[in-house]
Amino acid sequence: MAAIINGKEIAAKVKAEVAAEVAKLKEMGHNPGLAVVLVGDNPASRVYVNNKKKDCEEVGFASYEYALPAETTEAELLELIAKLNADAGVNGILVQLPLPKHICEQTILHAISSAKDVDAFHPENVGRIMIGDYSFLPCTPAGVIEMLDSIGCDINGKHCVVIGRSNIVGKPMGMLLLHRNGTVTICHSRTADLAEQTRQADILVAAVGKADFVTADMVKPGAVVIDVGMNRNAQGKLCGDVAYDEVEKVASAITPVPGGVGPMTRAILMRNTLTAAKEQLK
Ligand code: NAP
């Protein structure tokens, strides 16, 4: 039976560290804050935004929510971002994705000041991640690294297989593992014989978006399995990409869903906001 990597517990530690630093900034007369912009009424996005507000309250950040109607134009959204970029009371800006189809996500993400880009989606920050000189770590991949560290999993020299090559998870995940001296394979929907690749993984990260996608026969005995997926199963229950019940019998350690990578992503967002605030106060 695999050890369970408890994301909630590790996230609570990260948030407690952030809260202690935020308290110090407040003692010095600062009131750091995060602005979250939501366009439209996607129910999942609403849940994410509410969670981010809760996290801000927990660590002591001011949170500013901008809930805009679905008909908001790209020009109006750009105008709001310009205002937030110029607002010294706002240290981090996050635009909740996905945006309505008539708004170009790239245009919006590029408009956010790279110094306030706490999601690390701006090309400048993406480039920094590539060369290993980063101000903001991409939230989900950085959360995964924190989880591996928390169980004493040494990435150095390990074969790491990432399933998924998205800009927000798969690619930066591969890069962070590479910076920690992992030997990295990134798989995707065109990978020939995926199971052949995944069976070689000492560390397997699944970021596919398909329930029960990773089965026990795809996992090397003793591997560490990280499940980034957030899906709904046939019963409407939240689940990951990994067939948990069978894979936990093969893996040495595994993340659950819920209670795994999700809380870590949120905790790293708080840490990035703190980093942004400290940099801007220098
Ligand atoms: P995405 O943009 O849809 O990317 C999915 C990736 O999976 C793509 O690279 C795709 O390959 C690959 N893929 C799809 N079918 C495959 C197959 N049959 N074999 C191999 N690879 C396949 O999704 P994402 O944004 O990266 O998110 C992935 C999952 O993580 C989702 O469930 C999402 O909800 C979850 N997520 C969770 C968190 C968290 O905090 N826990 C954060 C972000 C995302 P191609 O590129 O070839 O299409």
Residue pLDDT, tens place only, 217-229: 999 999 999 999 9
Distance 228 CA to ligand 1 centre (A): 9
* Nearest-angstrom CA–CA distance, 89 and 25: 13
Distance 268 CA to ligand 1 centre (A): 20
What integer pLDDT is reported at residue 134 of this predicted model?
87
User: Counting atoms of ligand 1 from 1, which one is nearest the CA of 241?
Assistant: 32
Please tell me the total number of residues recorded for the chain in this structure: 282
**Close Cβ partners of 69 (under 8 Å, ≥ 6 residues apart):** 39, 40
What integer pLDDT is reported at residue 54 of this predicted model?
97
- Banded model confidence at residue 275, pLDDT cuts 50, 70, 90: very high
For the segment 175-198, the average pLDDT, to the nearest whole number, is: 98
Residue nearest to atom 16 of ligand 1 (CA): 189
Q: Percent of the chain having pLDDT more than 70? A: 100
pLDDT at 59 over 90: yes
Sign of torsion, CA 173 82 279 20? Answer: negative
What integer pLDDT is reported at residue 174 of this predicted model?
98
262 lines ligand 1 (CB under 6 A): yes
Q: Percent of the chain having pLDDT more than 90? A: 96
Residue pLDDT, tens place only, 75-85: 999 999 999 99
186 lines ligand 1 (CB under 6 A): no
Indicate the top mutation candidate among 105, 230, 231 to test ligand 1's pocket, ranked by most ligand atoms within 8 A of CB: 230
> Which residues does the annotation mark as catalytic?
52, 96, 119
* DSSP-derived 3-state class of residue 94: strand
* DSSP-derived 3-state class of residue 203: strand
pLDDT at 104 over 90: yes
Distance 25 CA to ligand 1 centre (A): 37
Average per-residue pLDDT for the chain: 97
Residue 63 CA from chain centroid, whole number: 19
- Banded model confidence at residue 215, pLDDT cuts 50, 70, 90: very high
For the segment 18-36, the average pLDDT, to the nearest whole number, is: 97
* DSSP-derived 3-state class of residue 276: helix
pLDDT at 148 over 90: yes
Residue 247 CA from chain centroid, whole number: 23
228 lines ligand 1 (CB under 6 A): yes
What integer pLDDT is reported at residue 135 of this predicted model?
85
The CA-atom distances, in angstroms, between 186 and each of 139, 143, 166, 176, 269 are: 19, 18, 10, 12, 24
Distance 176 CA to ligand 1 centre (A): 17
* Nearest-angstrom CA–CA distance, 243 and 225: 11
What integer pLDDT is reported at residue 95 of this predicted model?
98
